[in-house]
Amino acid sequence: MLVIAGELGIHIHLSKRVLSAFQDDADRKSVTVHETDRATMEAGDAVAAVGGDGTMLSAAGLARPIQRPLLGINSGKLGFLANIQRQDLSVALHDVASGNYELDTRNFIEAEFSNGEIHYALNEFVFSRHGSVSMITLSAEYDGEFINRYWADGVIVSSPTGSTAYNLSTGGPIVVPQTDVMVLTPISPHTLTTRPLVLPCEKDLTIRVDPADQKVLFSGDGNNHDLPAVSPEVKIRKSASIMQLIKLSGQSYFETLRNKLMWGADMRDER
């Protein structure tokens, strides 16, 4: 990667934490090393995240306060966000260097605790049972109106970007990223008629731990956060914070769905 960047006149900024991954890369003339990830991101014009979607989520969280666009290079498995394959890296970097790309804007969602604490997620917030095999009970309200009381292993509140992640695995719908909605999806609900719900994101969705003494794990994009011991309720809404994903010429969301989820593929052809 450093060799290709050097040939294209792209200057690379690396943090000491990830420097070892590039020890065998030949060209170091176009590289500056920084002490921290934050300093590294602030020094560059864009952030390249090499890994899977988990790496992209971590990079998005770090880049959120400084608003740097993200280039996702997939070295993981599925990769909906990290959608540039390693074999296409040379072409991708050439397109970025020549300005042949678009910025695909995605909104974060934010969760406000009853104590005023705020957390952000690009994909989803998850309420799940913690330290027990017993189900938990959660109440949901939208704009102050009661929706349902869920008796389940938990619930997921997903952004459109996160609809192809945990939400999809639990039977939730795929939502086109530019759609202004949130998806409320129960995890293994005890009532079979309890289904995922798509909600406008203009108002607050409130999830309340009810009763409050249950052991509930709350996480945003895989990062755990302690719920307030008193009045454990969370208001979730669309955030003003955005992530800009570098989208190369010819890339299509629906093409990504077809390729990643193998839509239209005939498994008999593999025999």
User: Is 259 annotated among the ligand-binding residues?
Assistant: no
Answer yes or no: 53 catalytic.
Answer: yes
Q: Is 53 annotated as a binding residue?
A: yes
- Catalytic site residue from 24, 25, 45, 53: 53
Tell me whether residue 14 is annotated as binding: no
- 153 labelled binding-site residue: yes
166 assigned binding-site residue:
yes
Q: Are 73 and 86 in contact (CB under 8 A)?
A: yes
CA–CA distance from 68 to each of 12, 16, 99, 242 (Å)?
Answer: 14, 20, 15, 10
Is 48 labeled as ligand-binding?
Answer: no
DSSP string covering 205-268: EEEEESSTTS-EEEEETTEEEPPPSSS-EEEEEEEEEEEEEEEETT--HHHHHHHHHTTT--GG
Check whether 169 is labelled as a binding-site residue: yes
Q: Does 154 appear as a known binding residue?
A: no
Burial 70-108 (b: 16+ CB within 10 A, else e): bbbbbeeeebbbbbbeeeebeebbebbeeeebeebebbb
Is 123 one of the annotated binding-site residues?
yes
Instruction: Let me know how many helices (H) and strands (E) the chain has, helices first.
Output: 7, 17
**CB of 23 within 8 A of CB of 7?**
no
**Do the annotations mark residue 148 as ligand-binding?**
no
Q: Which residues are catalytic?
A: 53
Show binding-site residues: 53-54, 123-124, 153, 164-169, 223
Show binding-site residues for NAD(+): 53-54, 123-124, 153, 164-169, 223
